[in-house]
Amino acid sequence: MRITIVGCGNSGLVHAAKLIEGGHEVGLLKTSDTVNSPFFDLMCGEGGFNVRDETNGGHVFFAKPEFITRDAAKAVRFADVIMVMTTTLRHEHVARLISPYVSDGQLIALVPGYMGSLIFKKHIKKKVVYSEWETTAYNGRIVDSLYVRITFHNPRNAVSVLPSSCSADVLPVFQQLFGNTRYLRRNILESALHNPNMIVHPIGIIFSAARIEHSGGEFWMYKEAFTPSVVNVINDFDEQKNRVLASFGCEPLNYFDAAKWRNEEDLTLDSMAVFRSFAQAANKGPASVRHRYLLEDVPNGLGLFSSIGRVVNADTSIADSIITLAGSLVQKDLKSEARTVEYLLEKDKVTRDDILAAIV
């Protein structure tokens, strides 16, 4: 299969490496001029990048894509599947960039989604199918200018499809690409609100802001931030989130149960014990409160959730409080930057039926 990865950051290169290792033809498209540019230049010079896969016994190999480019036309026309692995803040930019070159029959995956398919649909007028992921199939990061390190894979990875009537055709494609990606959510709204980053990233930073700024880069969020009282906040947020999900006929999920389902083979284990185990293996950081954990997950995650809650008259007070506090921390109006359903549907007044019609 021919796959173009849009985004040459940690997630993009980790998934490109696994696809190349699996024998697929992979192209890389870089869309920004700032993030990870030195590593991108190094890849262009070498024709690929070194990989250490700790999910596969520490296997070391050289990943050589079919091309590494900034040429959107070349990258998009090459692909059967386009995997957009930039931050969700880049969705509007990427949609505009690739739209002239998209063809009927292509599959576009947004990893993660936050209902970004509706942004791409505004710009792409071809007969394409979208898939949204709530998280990545693999985790890892670029290690300086040396190599890409793959550190973790989710035993179970769930996706949604738009239109949902194409789900039976799309899921086998991702099963072929990533063996753990064989589970289906009802729709892109369910995927968006089950994105774990929407919950733990903002809460982890808000309640650790002083520690982050005092530690001088020696902060380990998953190990340090989620004390019993902070876990109470996550659980209370879960209750509000699940009431919104229920109003759309979606599956309610406790964050820690959902984390166990994604992260652990043995589902008989205690959910909190699994989370603590995952936390011990998690990477260090963030080193600043001005991080995508707030700048992305607050407007595009919590802002989206809050706007959906308003449509169905649901209590979103915890999310609303975090949005306000996060904006104050970074001195930015994150409310006005929110990815609301009104913005996605281009309507001043959105109803529940409008949302249901958009996600089918």
pLDDT at 299: 98
- Cβ-based neighbours of 120, under 8 Å, separated by 6 or more: 91, 95, 99, 108, 110, 130
- What's the order of all strands across the beta sheet hosting 147-153? 59-63, 49-53, 147-153, 138-143
**Residue 290: C-alpha distances to residues 38, 87, 135, 285, 294 (Å):** 22, 15, 21, 12, 7
pLDDT at 36: 78
Q: What are the start and end residues of each CATH 3.40.50.720 domain in the chain? A: 2-193
Q: What is the pTM of this model?
A: 0.95
Tokens of 17: 């490496």
Domain 2-193 CATH class label? alpha beta
CATH 3.55.40.20 fits 197-359, yes or no: no
Share of the chain above pLDDT 70, in %: 100
The ranges of the chain with pLDDT < 70 are none
Tokens of 348: 């001043």
pLDDT at 23: 95
Q: What are the start and end residues of each CATH 1.10.1040.10 domain in the chain? A: 197-359
What's the rounded Cα separation, in Å, for the pair 117 and 257? Answer: 27
